[in-house]
A and B are shown apart, each in its own frame.
Chain A
Amino acid sequence: EAQVTQNPRYLITVTGKKLTVTCSQNMNHEYMSWYRQDPGLGLRQIYYSMNVEVTDKGDVPEGYKVSRKEKRNFPLILESPSPNQTSLYFCASSLSASQPQHFGDGTRLSIL
């Protein structure tokens, strides 16, 4: 089954403790992206990648890192999480910018 898989789905952690949210797709898609969704602010793009080893900043990249060492995986790294990064995070992928995006089911992060 074609899918985008995020882990974990839920995480409660504390300020400053490094964490990684994994994202994997099995569709051989070139493009992958991370978003955060906040009430009243909608979905905002954090980082995106157009191919292996090619990443670029979205609208809200501060406090996040990403890597794209292989096509199927695009982890989101929070080196020193802060409470303002409490949010619902989505990973998405597509074959190209002209093709529909496929979204994962989301990761709800709470940083205390």
Chain B
Amino acid sequence: KQEVTQIPAALSVPEGENLVLNCSFTDSAIYNLQWFRQDPGKGLTSLLLIQSSQREQTSGRLNASLDKSSGRSTLYIAASQPGDSATYLCAVGMDSSYKLIFGSGTRLLVRP
């Protein structure tokens, strides 16, 4: 059974720092992997989606990488800002059936 783990559970950094969030999964036979952001009292916002055949995706200051063989994905945030403070979740799609398995998230605080 696929298990998705995110470490650390919480992270506090000063503004301007580059940071990396980690996501690991136990079954490497994945269909895709998504990174989401969740703000308090809000739903999830999709940040990046990496298909199983891809190694990375970039959007602005965000870069997500995928290494299926090691069961890992990282989300790199460059030059962090207080507005980046939120909970970041990764989710693994196992096949084209739309089943998603989520990690428990990393709560990020960027201090001014």
Contacting residue for B93 out of A41, A97, A106, CB 8 A: A97
Of the four ranges (under 10, 10 to 19, 20 to 34, 35 or more), the interface on chain A belongs to 20 to 34
Q: Is the CB of B98 within 8 A of A106?
A: no
Q: Closest approach, in angstroms, between the C-beta of A9 and any C-beta of chain B?
A: 10
Binding site for A on B (CB under 8 A): 31-32, 34, 36, 41-46, 49, 51, 89, 91, 93, 95-105
Which A residues are in CB contact (< 8 Å) with B95? 97
Q: Is the CB of A42 within 8 A of B104?
A: yes
Which A residues are in CB contact (< 8 Å) with B93? 97
Q: Is the CB of B98 within 8 A of A97?
A: yes
Which B residues are in CB contact (< 8 Å) with A92? 43-44
Contacting residue for B51 out of A98, A101, A102, CB 8 A: A98
Which A residues are in CB contact (< 8 Å) with B31? 97-98
Q: Is the CB of A42 within 8 A of B103?
A: yes
Q: Is the CB of A43 within 8 A of B102?
A: yes
Which B residues are in CB contact (< 8 Å) with A100? 34, 46, 49
Which B residues are in CB contact (< 8 Å) with A35? 102
In the complex, the chain B residue whose C-beta lies closest to that of A39 is B104
- Please tell me if A44 contacts chain B, counting CB pairs below 8 Å: yes
Q: Which of B34, B42, B99, B104 has the most CB of A within 10 A?
A: B99
Q: Closest approach, in angstroms, between the C-beta of B30 and any C-beta of chain A?
A: 12
Complex alpha-carbon distance, A45 and B64, angstroms: 24
Q: Show 15 residue pairs from A and B whose CB-CB distance is below 8 angstroms, ordered by the A residue.
A: A4-B43, A33-B98, A41-B104, A43-B91, A43-B102, A48-B99, A56-B97, A97-B32, A97-B96, A99-B49, A101-B46, A103-B36, A104-B43, A105-B42, A106-B42
Which chain A residues (16-47) contact chain B, with CB distance < 8 Å? 31, 33, 35, 40-45
